[in-house]
Amino acid sequence: MRFDEIRWDSEEERALFLEEAFELLGTLEEGALKTPPPIEAMFRAAHTLKGSGGMLGLTEWVERAHRLEDAIDRRGRPDWQWTPELQQLVLETVDALRAELSGAPADDRTALVRFDLRWSASCPMPGVRALQAYNAVSAAIPGTMSDPPVDRLGDWHGEVSVLWVPSVADVEEQVQALLAVVDDLVEVKRVDRALEAPHLTESPTDESQRPDRRDATLRISADTLEAIMEGIGELLLDHGQLEHRLGHALDSATRSVFEHMRRRALDLQDLTLRARMLPLDTLFRQYPRAVHDIARKLNKKIELKTQGGDTELDRVVMDRLHEPLLHLLRNACDHGIESPEERIQLGKPETGTVRLTAYAAQGHVHIQLEDDGRGIDWQKLRDKAEREGWMSHDEAERAREEELQDLLFRPGVSTRDQVTDLSGRGVGLDVVRAFLDEIHGAISVESRWGQGTTFHIELPMTMAIVTALIVEAGPWTVGFPIATVERIESVSVAGVKSALGHDAVSDRNTPLPVFSLTELLDPDQPHEDHYVVRVKDGRTQAALTVGEVTGQQEIVIKPVEGLTGLTPWLSGVALLGDGRLALVVDVRRLVPVTRSEGEALREDDVILLGSNQMELLVFRLNGDQRYGINVYKTREVLPATTVTRVAGQHPWLDGVVYVRGQALPVINLYRALDLDPQADSAPLLMVAEFNQTVQAFGVYEVEQMVRVGWDAVETLPDLMEGHNRFVTGLINHPTLGTIQLLDFEALLAAVAPPAPEAEPQLPPLGPEVTVWLADDSAVARQQVEKALASLGVTMRTFRDGTELLAAVRGEGARPDVVVLDVEMPKLDGYSVARQLKESAETAAIPIILHTSLSGKWQASRAQEIDADAVITKFDPGLLAATVVRLVAARPLSAVS
Amino acid sequence: MNQELLVVRIGPYFFGAPVLAVAEILQLSDVTRIPRVPPQVAGIAVVRGLPLMVMTLSPALGLPAERMEFVLRWAGDRNTALVHVDEVVGLVQVDHPLPKDSWATLVPPAAANWVVDVYRWHDEWLWAWPEDLPQRLAAELTGGLKPGGSGWAAAPMAQGG
């Protein structure tokens, strides 16, 4: 019986079989292309395929799977080897089984020929001889099966054994020749008759080896997940509406039930969303085979290397990514990688490399596809641009590669004139871009002629749920994915000026254009704007003025059927809790092209890690004294609202304020810093996020943002250390005067001391292990020392990074672990880490970056740095465990 | 040819929707207007948690945009667009459509795509819609078939650089 002849009891049964079979076939195929192949896993896969096929009565299927299982069974075969023939057998079997699943007609090309082997009656161990015979034949003709099965030949005593040999050309001559060297063999006889399936009963030992599939995972269809997702979304919506309707009528007990309900629903949503995330390996694993096949067809040698396959991506996105990615791979193999001869001539390695890399950063998944082939001939593209009239001669000659690359994505453009059957005419990069446009992804390309091409794809991590900033613009409620929002300021703070007629704000001294969101949507719409939202998405960067900022919300983006083609700037709509509909905009498609050109500005956009700089938000509390907070710690600045006092609160707390449904503690800086309490009602609330908590501080005025180097930060004079617990440094700014850097972490710790956590029992490391710590905060130094005390290590502390570096360099001492604060006067933690890692002598020292910066910015930046571990919250147990882990993992040479 | 039509009013005109093609009549409280779209797109309405596009025929008929009162939801795909009407009058059995050459020249080009028959009904004319009205309207949107008279254009995008 073949697969398409089975009568299934239910569709589920069929789907389950298919799914399992495809997964196992994937394991086999992927394994066959690895070096070395994971034979055990492949064997188990073949075995399971055979078993489940047998239960259904799939005769050919079982026969194929059985042959494969035998061929890659190395139990009891010490001389078994993985050969190119075996690889081909695995791949062919996989193809044949897949073909059967897809309903292809029976193919008798691989029919088996039966050979009966008669052994001498005087042979003491015919089983061993039969095994010898099997080995000899199967090594030359993979797919050969033995009856009795190989694993039972050891104690087999009989006169006639059977070999089933694939009917290759001259099979009889080959088998006879191969068996000529085997002793005790009386006769080899080819038996021609209708193929009967060899008996395939399982030996009991096989049963125990069956991999246990009944572990705690369930397969669940994407549709079901989708339905759960929608359901939770609706639930949240209902909650929002109820809360809105009942509003202030709620007493606190009911409110807390409401809040609990909301939180549970959000957790569930999160969980479901995560269940939708799949590692990119699910996709990547298909490609080695594709590249293998393409390379064979093109007579090229190409190796595909993949990296970052554990990066997770929403399966909805992933499903749609397959085609474009495959197309790019084909392109790379076909147009990019040269023929082996050409490569040798060029002095390149004969085998071309295609590298597929994935990583996540800034709310997006990035995929890079890089080949070391011939690259893009930009000159040819210039000629084409001129010929087609896209650019004038001058323009084409002057155009930079970034400007030219846009042309690559036009229909009908190929960088190579030849058209092959692989990357045929008609399907070009324009299709790839269109695909990506649909899922709000982006693609760019870099290429050096003669050296290779890199495509860079950027994808939203998930399409369904985003945290969005909700604003009002004229009559509309608009949502921006929070990942694109850089900063929110009130118009009065932002300092909008006219730059030769166009509104602009200063962005690190360069003008950033200001647009009214309402006007972008509809130029005729009257509006009054109070806030400036700076947005950045890819290369698009602008400041948008909006009426009001409503808040930050988790929203479910829903597409509107029929509108998608009309409104490329609209990612979809979202239903808010109060019943309103928010338009979720795609910043890149709404904001007119602004800063995409200035390459220099782009470099400058983000403070480079290790550049030893920070951006400081400068504010005043009273008088003229200015204070600073690292911008990465701030979330937003709001007008002060009602603060609810909580009984028994810490004297430095004003109480609790509700910001977007989240209750935040308000810390009174006047009381904490012992300042004149003139303004108990500070007009502004500065919301800050660090130590993985969010809190608000009342401030008098937020002035501006300045970029300062850490080297400009002076530590307090020694005399004052110990008294001023909450000031970590001073900056003498040329125009603003002295700015005091407040130790917000210490302030927070004073108000809410970290709960003593049950420390896990860690094995003490002993005093011979030295841990060096650089932190400008005395409180932090003390806390870290305390956290590591139980390890019994020798601690040495430094007040800033330069002191630590000086000790490393001057004394030649090598600590076993270095713990660095990120924000430190003179030299920040990134820079210290970089300098340590750049020197061969100190590169091996494990570094832990210990930072309170826990906002979304930090999460994405932390991945880019050189540290061995990053801890974004003061957690004594985690810190100690990390030290233990790093000490255990250090290379042997580093152990003194 | 005997057919049952749902009679609806838009401005001063009466139209007939094939009754089997209409899934339901909804009274809307809120339609969110969408900027930078052709005027036939009245906005988005939320029906049982699902955002749906609302289409309006008013601009094609040279009528001013009115407050949305009722919409018809077409049968079939649950994502299909809604069509705005001012009033739902009732059901009527019709036969004997007027000969096409007697009215074809009167229909404005913008409406020619979706008026398929005309009947005399009381002392009014009843302009009958095709069964696939939403699809035809959607095709006009994407196919660039512009409704007569209004000459919409996307809001100009300021171009920098």
Where in B78-133 does DSSP place strands (E)?
Answer: 82-85, 87-94, 117-121, 124-128
Cα(A291)–Cα(A303) distance, rounded to whole angstroms?
8
Cα(A258)–Cα(A252) distance, rounded to whole angstroms?
10
3-state secondary structure of A831: helix
3-state secondary structure of A798: strand
Amino acid at A623: G
State whether B156 and A523 contact (CB < 8 Å).
Answer: yes
State whether B34 and A583 contact (CB < 8 Å).
Answer: yes
pLDDT at A461: 66
pLDDT at B9: 93
**Percent of chain A whose predicted confidence (pLDDT) is above 70:** 85
More confident residue, A413 or A689: A689
pLDDT at A724: 60
Handedness of CA A761, A763, A764, A769 (dihedral sign): negative
- pLDDT band (50, 70, 90) for residue A109: very low
Cα(B26)–Cα(B69) distance, rounded to whole angstroms?
9
Whether the bond into A340 is cis, omega within 30 of 0 = no
Q: Residue A804 has which token pair?
A: 């630590």
Q: Distance between the two ends of chain B, CA-based, in angstroms? A: 62
Cα(A363)–Cα(A481) distance, rounded to whole angstroms?
9
Q: What is the mean pLDDT of residues B60-86?
A: 81
Which backbone phi and psi does A180 adopt, to 5 degrees? -60, -25
Cβ density class A293-306: b for 16+ within 10 Å, e for less = ebbeebebbbbbeb
**Of A233, A560, A592, Cβ closest to residue B158:** A592
Q: Residue A644 has which token pair?
A: 């609810």
Cα(A653)–Cα(A646) distance, rounded to whole angstroms?
9
**Of A475, A569, A593, Cβ closest to residue B159:** A593
Q: For residue A53, what are the contacts with CB-CB under 8 A and spacing of at least 6?
A: A61, A62, A65
pLDDT at A320: 78
Radius of gyration of chain A (CA): 34
State whether B46 and A575 contact (CB < 8 Å).
Answer: yes
* CB distance A665 to A652 below 8 Å: no
pLDDT at A315: 77
Residue B139 touches partner A, C-beta closer than 8 Å? no
pLDDT at A894: 41
Q: Tell me whether residue A167 is exposed, middle or buried, using C-beta atoms within 10 angstroms of its C-beta: 0 to 12, 13 to 18, 19 or more.
A: middle
Residue B1 touches partner A, C-beta closer than 8 Å? no
Q: What is the DSSP letter of A78?
A: T
State whether A563 and B52 contact (CB < 8 Å).
Answer: no
Amino acid at A131: L
Residue A565 touches partner B, C-beta closer than 8 Å? yes
pLDDT at B145: 40
Best residue in A232, A476, A561, A595 for a mutation probing chain B (most B CBs within 10 Å): A561
DSSP calls for A335-400: IISPPHHHHHHTT--SSEEEEEEEEEETTEEEEEEEE-S----HHHHHHHHHHTTSS-HHHHHH--
| Most confident segment among A42-56, A339-353, A448-462, A537-551 | A339-353
Q: How far is CA A210 from CA A60, A73, A149, A199, A216, in A?
A: 21, 14, 17, 19, 17
Radius of gyration of chain B (CA): 16
State whether A597 and B51 contact (CB < 8 Å).
Answer: no
* Mean pLDDT lowest among A104-113, A139-148, A463-472, A681-690: A104-113
pLDDT for residue A204 is more than 50: no
* CB distance A688 to A666 below 8 Å: no
* CB distance B16 to B119 below 8 Å: yes
Amino acid at A663: A
Cα(B74)–Cα(B78) distance, rounded to whole angstroms?
8
**Percent of chain A whose predicted confidence (pLDDT) is above 90:** 5
Q: What is the DSSP letter of A519?
A: H
pLDDT for residue A893 is more than 50: no
* CB distance B74 to B134 below 8 Å: yes
* CB distance A382 to A396 below 8 Å: yes
* CB distance A35 to A295 below 8 Å: no
* CB distance A314 to A277 below 8 Å: yes
pLDDT at A672: 82
Give the other-Cβ count within 10 Å of A263's Cβ: 10
The enclosing H or E element of B46 equals strand B41-47
pLDDT at A343: 92
How many residues comprise chain A?
896
Q: What is the mean pLDDT of residues B70-74?
A: 89
* CB distance B140 to B155 below 8 Å: no
Q: What is the DSSP letter of A508?
A: T
Q: Residue A859 has which token pair?
A: 């999460």
Alpha helices in chain B, H assignment, sequence order: 100-103, 109-112, 133-143
pLDDT at A476: 93
Cα(A106)–Cα(A59) distance, rounded to whole angstroms?
11
Cα(A727)–Cα(A725) distance, rounded to whole angstroms?
6
**Of B32, B36, B80, Cβ closest to residue A521:** B36
pLDDT for residue A416 is more than 80: no
Cα(A830)–Cα(A847) distance, rounded to whole angstroms?
10
Residue A389 touches partner B, C-beta closer than 8 Å? no
pLDDT for residue A288 is more than 60: yes
Cβ density class A238-262: b for 16+ within 10 Å, e for less = ebbeebeeeeeeeeeeeeeeebebb
- Domain limits, chain B: 3-143
* CB distance A185 to A179 below 8 Å: yes
Segment A784-840, tens digit of pLDDT: 888 888 888 888 888 888 888 888 888 777 888 999 888 787 788 888 888 888 888
Which backbone phi and psi does A458 adopt, to 5 degrees? -120, 130
- pLDDT band (50, 70, 90) for residue A463: low
Edge-to-edge strand order for the sheet containing A540-546?
A: A485-490, A531-537, A540-546, A510-516, A502-507, A497-499
The residue assigned the tokens 């069509």 is B83
Cα(A53)–Cα(A736) distance, rounded to whole angstroms?
78
Query: Domain B3-143 sits in which CATH superfamily?
Result: CheA-289, Domain 4 (2.40.50.180)
Give the other-Cβ count within 10 Å of A878's Cβ: 17
State whether B44 and A560 contact (CB < 8 Å).
Answer: yes
Average pLDDT, chain B: 80
Residue A238 touches partner B, C-beta closer than 8 Å? no
Amino acid at A359: Y
- pLDDT band (50, 70, 90) for residue A452: confident
pLDDT for residue A366 is more than 80: yes
pLDDT for residue A756 is more than 80: no
pLDDT for residue A478 is more than 90: yes
Segment A502-522, tens digit of pLDDT: 888 888 778 888 999 999 999
pLDDT at A420: 40
- pLDDT band (50, 70, 90) for residue A609: low
More confident residue, A208 or A166: A166
pLDDT at A782: 81
Cα(A544)–Cα(A542) distance, rounded to whole angstroms?
6
Q: What is the mean pLDDT of residues B36-40?
A: 87
**Of A522, A573, A596, Cβ closest to residue B155:** A522
Cα(A500)–Cα(A482) distance, rounded to whole angstroms?
31
Average pLDDT, chain A: 78
Residue B65 touches partner A, C-beta closer than 8 Å? no
Q: What is the mean pLDDT of residues B50-66?
A: 86
Contacts of A36-40 with C-beta under 8 Å, sequence gap 24+, read: A36/A82, A37/A82, A37/A87, A39/A72, A39/A74, A39/A82
pLDDT at B125: 92
Residue A476 touches partner B, C-beta closer than 8 Å? yes
DSSP calls for A727-755: EEEEEEETTTEEEEEE-HHHHHHHHSPPP
Tally C-beta pairs within 8 A across A and B. 83
pLDDT for residue A895 is more than 50: no
More confident residue, A817 or A566: A817
Best residue in A226, A517, A566, A569 for a mutation probing chain B (most B CBs within 10 Å): A566
How many Cα atoms sit within 13 Å of A541 on the Cβ side? 21
Amino acid at A74: R
**Of A523, A562, A579, Cβ closest to residue B138:** A562
Cα(A406)–Cα(B68) distance, rounded to whole angstroms?
43
Smallest Cα–Cα separation from A490: which of A448, A533, A538? A533
Smallest Cα–Cα separation from A746: which of A785, A778, A787, A788? A778
